Amino acid sequence: MKNIILQHWNGTKTFWVAKCENSIKKYANDIDADYELLGGFPMGDWFPNFDTKPWLVVQKLFMLNEKYDEYDNVLLLDMDMLYTGVIDDIFSHEGVGRLHRKGMTEANASKNGRKWPKLYRKGEPMFFGNCLKFTREERINLRKHLKDDIIHKSISDDGLPPNDEIIMHHLIVESGALKDKKELQLPHARFCDLPEEAAHNATLLHYCGNRKNQL
Protein backbone atom coordinates (compact mmCIF):
# COMPACT_ATOMS: atom_id res chain seq x y z
CA MET A 1 0.00 0.00 0.00
CA LYS A 2 1.22 3.49 -0.88
CA ASN A 3 -0.02 6.24 1.44
CA ILE A 4 0.60 9.96 1.94
CA ILE A 5 -0.09 12.50 4.69
CA LEU A 6 -0.91 16.09 3.65
CA GLN A 7 -1.03 19.32 5.62
CA HIS A 8 -1.59 22.93 4.56
CA TRP A 9 -0.14 26.18 5.85
CA ASN A 10 0.00 29.70 4.44
CA GLY A 11 2.36 32.35 5.76
CA THR A 12 5.17 32.44 8.31
CA LYS A 13 5.67 29.32 10.37
CA THR A 14 5.25 29.95 14.08
CA PHE A 15 6.80 27.80 16.80
CA TRP A 16 3.78 25.53 17.08
CA VAL A 17 3.50 25.12 13.30
CA ALA A 18 7.11 23.97 13.04
CA LYS A 19 6.73 21.66 16.04
CA CYS A 20 3.59 20.02 14.68
CA GLU A 21 4.98 19.75 11.16
CA ASN A 22 8.11 18.00 12.40
CA SER A 23 6.07 15.63 14.53
CA ILE A 24 3.79 14.63 11.63
CA LYS A 25 6.81 14.18 9.36
CA LYS A 26 8.19 11.78 11.97
CA TYR A 27 4.85 9.98 12.14
CA ALA A 28 4.81 9.56 8.36
CA ASN A 29 8.29 8.11 8.51
CA ASP A 30 7.36 5.77 11.37
CA ILE A 31 4.44 4.29 9.42
CA ASP A 32 6.23 4.29 6.04
CA ALA A 33 4.05 6.97 4.43
CA ASP A 34 4.98 9.95 2.26
CA TYR A 35 4.48 13.49 3.54
CA GLU A 36 3.78 16.83 1.85
CA LEU A 37 3.12 20.30 3.23
CA LEU A 38 0.91 22.37 0.92
CA GLY A 39 1.61 26.10 0.90
CA GLY A 40 -0.25 29.19 -0.25
CA PHE A 41 -3.36 28.63 -2.37
CA PRO A 42 -2.93 25.22 -4.04
CA MET A 43 -6.47 25.34 -5.44
CA GLY A 44 -5.15 28.14 -7.67
CA ASP A 45 -7.49 30.13 -9.88
CA TRP A 46 -10.11 27.38 -9.88
CA PHE A 47 -11.65 28.91 -6.74
CA PRO A 48 -11.33 32.62 -5.93
CA ASN A 49 -8.82 33.43 -3.18
CA PHE A 50 -11.08 35.22 -0.75
CA ASP A 51 -9.18 37.44 1.66
CA THR A 52 -10.71 35.82 4.73
CA LYS A 53 -9.18 33.39 7.19
CA PRO A 54 -12.00 30.82 6.83
CA TRP A 55 -11.29 30.64 3.12
CA LEU A 56 -7.83 29.20 3.75
CA VAL A 57 -9.32 25.95 5.03
CA VAL A 58 -10.85 25.28 1.61
CA GLN A 59 -7.33 24.96 0.19
CA LYS A 60 -7.20 21.60 1.96
CA LEU A 61 -9.60 20.28 -0.68
CA PHE A 62 -6.49 19.94 -2.83
CA MET A 63 -6.27 16.48 -1.29
CA LEU A 64 -8.75 15.45 -4.01
CA ASN A 65 -6.41 16.52 -6.81
CA GLU A 66 -5.48 13.89 -9.39
CA LYS A 67 -1.83 14.46 -8.45
CA TYR A 68 -2.36 12.02 -5.57
CA ASP A 69 -4.14 9.29 -7.51
CA GLU A 70 -0.96 7.22 -7.37
CA TYR A 71 -1.64 6.69 -3.66
CA ASP A 72 -3.93 4.04 -2.21
CA ASN A 73 -4.87 6.39 0.64
CA VAL A 74 -4.52 10.11 1.31
CA LEU A 75 -4.71 11.49 4.85
CA LEU A 76 -5.26 15.20 5.46
CA LEU A 77 -4.36 16.60 8.88
CA ASP A 78 -4.80 20.11 10.25
CA MET A 79 -1.58 21.96 11.00
CA ASP A 80 -2.32 21.83 14.73
CA MET A 81 -2.25 18.03 14.87
CA LEU A 82 0.59 16.56 16.95
CA TYR A 83 2.14 13.08 16.94
CA THR A 84 2.66 11.75 20.46
CA GLY A 85 5.19 9.09 19.52
CA VAL A 86 2.77 6.24 20.25
CA ILE A 87 2.83 4.32 16.98
CA ASP A 88 -0.47 3.17 15.52
CA ASP A 89 -0.80 3.16 11.74
CA ILE A 90 -3.90 5.19 10.92
CA PHE A 91 -3.95 3.67 7.44
CA SER A 92 -4.68 0.26 8.94
CA HIS A 93 -8.09 1.55 10.09
CA GLU A 94 -11.04 1.79 7.71
CA GLY A 95 -12.75 4.99 8.82
CA VAL A 96 -12.58 8.46 7.26
CA GLY A 97 -12.40 10.65 10.37
CA ARG A 98 -14.64 11.82 13.21
CA LEU A 99 -18.29 12.40 12.41
CA HIS A 100 -19.80 15.75 13.34
CA ARG A 101 -22.82 13.99 14.83
CA LYS A 102 -24.38 17.14 16.30
CA GLY A 103 -24.11 18.94 12.97
CA MET A 104 -25.78 16.02 11.24
CA THR A 105 -28.96 16.29 13.34
CA GLU A 106 -30.28 19.52 11.78
CA ALA A 107 -29.07 22.52 9.81
CA ASN A 108 -29.03 24.88 12.80
CA ALA A 109 -27.03 22.47 14.96
CA SER A 110 -23.71 23.78 13.59
CA LYS A 111 -22.42 26.74 11.62
CA ASN A 112 -21.92 24.45 8.62
CA GLY A 113 -25.62 23.92 8.04
CA ARG A 114 -26.66 27.28 9.47
CA LYS A 115 -24.42 29.40 7.22
CA TRP A 116 -24.55 27.25 4.08
CA PRO A 117 -27.96 25.50 4.04
CA LYS A 118 -27.87 24.96 0.27
CA LEU A 119 -25.04 22.46 0.76
CA TYR A 120 -26.54 20.72 3.78
CA ARG A 121 -28.36 17.38 3.91
CA LYS A 122 -29.76 16.30 7.28
CA GLY A 123 -28.51 12.96 8.57
CA GLU A 124 -25.83 12.50 5.93
CA PRO A 125 -22.15 12.06 6.89
CA MET A 126 -20.36 15.22 7.98
CA PHE A 127 -16.82 15.08 9.32
CA PHE A 128 -14.68 17.45 11.33
CA GLY A 129 -11.96 18.83 9.06
CA ASN A 130 -8.90 18.19 11.23
CA CYS A 131 -8.46 14.57 10.13
CA LEU A 132 -9.76 13.08 6.87
CA LYS A 133 -8.65 9.88 5.16
CA PHE A 134 -9.93 8.69 1.79
CA THR A 135 -9.06 5.85 -0.55
CA ARG A 136 -8.15 6.49 -4.18
CA GLU A 137 -11.60 5.45 -5.39
CA GLU A 138 -13.37 7.64 -2.84
CA ARG A 139 -11.26 10.66 -3.77
CA ILE A 140 -11.93 10.22 -7.47
CA ASN A 141 -15.68 9.98 -6.87
CA LEU A 142 -15.66 13.04 -4.64
CA ARG A 143 -13.60 15.02 -7.15
CA LYS A 144 -16.12 14.45 -9.93
CA HIS A 145 -18.63 16.56 -8.01
CA LEU A 146 -16.31 19.40 -7.00
CA LYS A 147 -17.67 22.22 -9.18
CA ASP A 148 -16.87 25.91 -8.87
CA ASP A 149 -20.53 26.85 -8.61
CA ILE A 150 -20.53 25.17 -5.19
CA ILE A 151 -18.68 28.25 -4.01
CA HIS A 152 -20.29 30.98 -6.08
CA LYS A 153 -23.89 29.95 -5.36
CA SER A 154 -23.45 29.24 -1.65
CA ILE A 155 -21.99 32.38 -0.07
CA SER A 156 -23.42 32.83 3.44
CA ASP A 157 -25.65 35.75 4.37
CA ASP A 158 -22.68 37.40 6.06
CA GLY A 159 -20.49 37.05 2.95
CA LEU A 160 -18.42 33.97 3.78
CA PRO A 161 -17.61 31.27 1.21
CA PRO A 162 -18.38 27.72 2.38
CA ASN A 163 -15.69 26.00 4.42
CA ASP A 164 -14.01 22.65 3.85
CA GLU A 165 -16.34 20.71 6.17
CA ILE A 166 -19.60 21.68 4.46
CA ILE A 167 -18.14 21.33 0.96
CA MET A 168 -16.86 17.84 1.79
CA HIS A 169 -20.27 16.99 3.26
CA HIS A 170 -21.90 18.14 0.02
CA LEU A 171 -19.50 16.09 -2.09
CA ILE A 172 -20.13 12.98 0.01
CA VAL A 173 -23.89 13.38 -0.46
CA GLU A 174 -23.71 14.10 -4.19
CA SER A 175 -21.20 11.37 -5.03
CA GLY A 176 -22.38 8.57 -2.76
CA ALA A 177 -18.69 7.77 -2.41
CA LEU A 178 -19.10 6.36 1.11
CA LYS A 179 -22.40 4.53 0.67
CA ASP A 180 -20.79 1.07 0.79
CA LYS A 181 -18.26 1.86 3.50
CA LYS A 182 -18.84 -0.31 6.56
CA GLU A 183 -17.07 1.95 9.06
CA LEU A 184 -17.15 5.73 8.66
CA GLN A 185 -15.40 6.74 11.86
CA LEU A 186 -11.78 6.28 12.77
CA PRO A 187 -11.08 5.37 16.40
CA HIS A 188 -11.19 9.11 17.09
CA ALA A 189 -9.94 8.88 20.68
CA ARG A 190 -6.68 7.64 19.17
CA PHE A 191 -6.39 9.92 16.14
CA CYS A 192 -8.73 12.93 16.09
CA ASP A 193 -9.48 14.23 19.57
CA LEU A 194 -8.51 17.17 21.74
CA PRO A 195 -5.80 16.52 24.35
CA GLU A 196 -8.30 16.56 27.21
CA GLU A 197 -10.66 14.12 25.46
CA ALA A 198 -8.24 11.70 23.83
CA ALA A 199 -7.26 8.23 25.00
CA HIS A 200 -4.22 8.07 27.28
CA ASN A 201 -2.33 6.22 24.57
CA ALA A 202 -3.49 8.37 21.65
CA THR A 203 -1.28 8.61 18.56
CA LEU A 204 -2.47 12.01 17.27
CA LEU A 205 -3.83 14.97 19.24
CA HIS A 206 -5.66 18.07 18.01
CA TYR A 207 -4.35 21.28 19.65
CA CYS A 208 -6.97 23.61 18.22
CA GLY A 209 -7.66 27.11 19.51
CA ASN A 210 -5.72 28.29 22.55
CA ARG A 211 -4.50 24.78 23.20
CA LYS A 212 -1.59 25.64 20.94
CA ASN A 213 -0.16 27.60 23.86
CA GLN A 214 0.26 24.29 25.69
CA LEU A 215 2.82 23.18 23.14
* pLDDT for 94: 96
* pLDDT for 167: 94
Question: Residues 80, 85, 90, CA angle at the centre, nearest 5°?
Answer: 75
Tell me if 151 is assigned to some domain: no
Range of the domain at 38: 3-104+126-146+179-214
Tell me if 169 is assigned to some domain: no
* pLDDT for 40: 84
Tell me if 83 is assigned to some domain: yes
* pLDDT for 25: 98
Give buried/exposed letters for 79-113 (b at 16+ CB in 10 A, else e): bbbbbbeeebebbeeebbbbbbeebbeeeebbebb
The residue length of the chain stands at 215
* pLDDT for 194: 96
Let me know: does 125 contact 178? Beta carbons within 8 Å: yes
* pLDDT for 108: 96
* pLDDT for 20: 97
CATH number for the domain that contains residue 15: 3.90.550.10
* pLDDT for 121: 97
Q: List the beta bridge partners of residue 3.
A: 73
* pLDDT for 201: 97
Chunked into runs of 10 residues, the chain (215 residues) has average pLDDT values of: 96 94 98 95 65 68 96 97 98 97 97 96 98 98 89 84 93 97 97 96 96 87
